[in-house]
C-alpha cells in the first residue's frame, strides 16, 4: 500500500496524570477505615478482593488528599472536575504540541471528549484560553461516549482535516473518574472504586507527510446493551453501572469493529504488529484477546497501562498508544487502536507507521 499524500496523520500523542498516587493497598486501607460502616460483610470482602488483584498496582487521582472523598458535596465534585480536567488537558496538550513542533496558533480545530463531568461552556472554552489557541478555532465538545470516546474524537478531528484539506487538529480526552466516586453496597460501585483512575491524553493530527497514517476506522453500536455499561443519575449525581457480562458483550463488539476495519484493508489480526486497547480491566482485556486470537505479548502495552494507572476511561487507549511509541515502531508496522464504552459502542482505528 503506497502512502497517500492527502491522508491525515497522527503527529504526536502525549499524556498527563495528577500527582496524587495511591497503590491498591493504600486504597483498601482508606476505604476500610472510612466506609466499612456503610458496607455489608460481602461488599467488604469483594472490595478487598478486587483491590488485591495483581493487574493493577497503583492509580493517580485528581485530589489533594483522599479525605475529600468521604463526604464530598456534589458542587465540590464538579468544581474539582473542572479544575483538574482543565489542568491535565492543558498539560497533555502542551506536550503534544511540543512533540509535533507546533505553536498553539497553528491549531485549526479542537475536539475534547469527557464523560465524568458536565460544564457549560465546555472544556474547549477553557483550553482555548489556557493554551492561547486562535479565537476563530473550530471547537467541539463531545459527551456521552464513555470509555470509548477517544477514537470518535480522533474520527472527528480527521474528518475536519479531510474536509478542509490542510491544517492541524488537537484532540483531547480527559476524565476525572474520581469526581464520580460513590460508595454503596453495589457491585458496580465496588468494582469501579477498585478500577478507575484519572488522566488526560492529547493527540495532534495534521495533513503533513509525517507521523502515523490514519488508514481506516470503524464503529459498532449495540444500543440493546446500553444498560451493560453506563452512568445513571441518582439524586443529581453520577453512579457507574457495569454488567457482570460486560467482558463477553464488549469482546464481541470490539472484535466486530476490528475485523470490519481489517477486512476492508485486506488484513487479519495476525498482520498487526501493535495493539493499543482500552485498559478496561483484566477480564475485559483477556476476553478481547481471546475473541481476536491475540497472543499475550501483544497485550503488553495495554496491561502496562492498566497496572500503572488503572482504567482512566477514555484517555486509556491513547496511553497504550504512547506506550507503543515509547517502545518503538518499525517502518510499515500496522497498529490498531480499539476502544469501547457507553452506548454500548466499540471503535477501531487502523494506523500505519511510515
Q: What is the pLDDT of residues 156-187, one digit of tens each?
A: 999 999 999 889 999 999 999 999 999 999 99
What would the mean pLDDT of 230-256 be, rounded to a whole number? 94
Give me 79's grid cell.
468544581
What would the mean pLDDT of 2-6 be, rounded to a whole number? 51
3-state secondary structure of 111: strand
Q: For residue 2, what pLDDT band results from cuts at 50, 70 and 90? A: very low
Average pLDDT for the chain? 96
Residue with grid cell 492561547, as numbered in its chain: 132
| Domains of the chain by residue range | 9-206, 212-352
Tens digits of residue pLDDT in 15-52? 999 999 999 999 999 999 999 999 999 999 999 999 99
Please tell me the class of the 9-206 domain: alpha beta
State the alpha helices, DSSP H only, in 174-277.
187-195, 246-263
Q: For residue 108, what pLDDT band results from cuts at 50, 70 and 90? A: very high
Q: For residue 255, what pLDDT band results from cuts at 50, 70 and 90? A: very high
Q: For residue 236, what pLDDT band results from cuts at 50, 70 and 90? A: confident
Strands 212-221 and 9-16: antiparallel
Residue with grid cell 502512502, as numbered in its chain: 3
Of all residues in the chain, the percent with pLDDT exceeding 90 is 96
DSSP lists the bridge partners of residue 168 as: 206
Q: For residue 354, what pLDDT band results from cuts at 50, 70 and 90? A: confident
d(CA 67, CA 303) in angstroms, rounded, equals: 29
Pick the CATH number of 212-352 from 3.40.47.10, 3.40.50.720, 3.40.190.10, 3.55.50.30: 3.40.47.10
What is the model's pLDDT at position 175?
Answer: 98
Q: For residue 274, what pLDDT band results from cuts at 50, 70 and 90? A: very high
Tell whether the model's pLDDT for residue 248 goes beyond 90: yes
Asked whether this chain's domains 9-206 and 212-352 adopt the same fold, the reply is yes
Tell whether the model's pLDDT for residue 330 goes beyond 50: yes
d(CA 278, CA 289) in angstroms, rounded, equals: 12
Q: For residue 1, what pLDDT band results from cuts at 50, 70 and 90? A: very low
> Is residue 21 within 8 Å of 49, Cβ to Cβ?
no
What is the model's pLDDT at position 27?
Answer: 96
Amino acid at each position: 500500500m503506497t502512502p497517500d499524500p492527502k491522508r491525515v496523520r497522527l503527529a504526536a500523542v502525549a499524556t498527563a496524570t495528577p500527582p496524587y498516587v495511591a497503590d491498591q493497598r493504600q486504597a483498601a486501607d482508606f476505604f476500610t477505615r472510612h466506609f466499612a460502616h456503610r458496607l455489608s460483610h460481602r461488599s467488604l470482602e469483594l472490595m478487598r478482593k478486587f483491590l488485591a488483584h495483581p493487574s493493577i498496582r497503583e492509580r493517580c487521582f485528581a485530589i489533594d488528599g483522599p479525605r475529600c472523598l468521604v463526604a464530598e458535596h456534589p458542587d465540590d465534585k464538579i468544581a474539582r472536575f473542572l479544575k483538574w480536567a482543565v489542568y491535565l488537558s492543558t498539560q497533555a496538550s502542551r506536550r503534544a504540541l511540543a512533540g509535533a513542533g507546533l505553536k498553539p496558533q497553528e491549531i485549526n480545530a479542537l475536539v475534547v471528549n469527557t464523560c465524568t463531568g458536565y460544564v457549560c461552556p465546555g472544556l474547549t472554552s477553557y483550553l482555548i484560553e489556557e493554551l492561547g489557541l486562535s479565537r476563530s478555532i473550530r471547537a467541539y465538545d463531545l459527551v456521552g461516549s464513555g470509555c470509548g470516546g477517544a477514537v470518535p474524537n480522533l474520527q472527528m478531528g480527521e474528518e475536519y482535516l479531510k474536509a478542509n484539506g490542510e491544517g492541524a487538529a488537537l484532540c483531547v480526552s480527559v476524565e476525572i473518574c474520581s469526581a464520580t466516586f460513590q460508595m454503596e453496597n453495589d457491585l458496580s460501585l465496588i468494582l469501579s472504586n477498585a478500577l478507575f483512575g484519572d488522566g488526560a491524553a492529547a493527540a495532534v493530527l495534521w495533513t503533513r507527510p509525517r507521523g502515523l497514517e490514519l488508514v481506516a476506522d470503524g464503529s459498532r453500536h449495540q444500543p440493546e446493551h446500553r444498560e451493560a455499561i453506563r452512568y445513571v443519575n441518582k439524586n443529581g449525581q453520577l453512579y457507574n453501572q457495569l454488567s457482570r457480562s460486560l467482558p463477553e458483550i464488549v469482546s464481541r463488539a470490539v472484535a466486530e469493529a476490528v475485523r470490519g476495519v481489517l477486512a476492508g484493508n485486506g488484513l487479519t489480526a495476525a498482520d498487526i504488529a501493535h495493539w493499543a486497547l482500552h485498559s478496561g480491566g483484566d477480564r475485559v482485556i483477556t476476553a478481547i484477546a481471546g475473541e481476536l486470537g491475540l497472543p499475550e505479548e501483544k497485550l503488553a502495552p495495554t496491561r502496562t497501562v492498566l497496572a500503572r494507572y488503572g482504567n482512566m476511561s477514555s484517555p486509556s487507549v491513547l496511553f497504550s498508544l504512547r506506550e507503543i511509541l515509547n517502545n518503538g515502531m518499525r517502518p510499515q508496522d500496522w497498529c490498531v487502536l480499539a476502544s469501547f464504552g457507553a452506548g454500548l459502542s466499540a471503535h477501531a482505528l487502523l494506523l500505519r507507521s511510515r
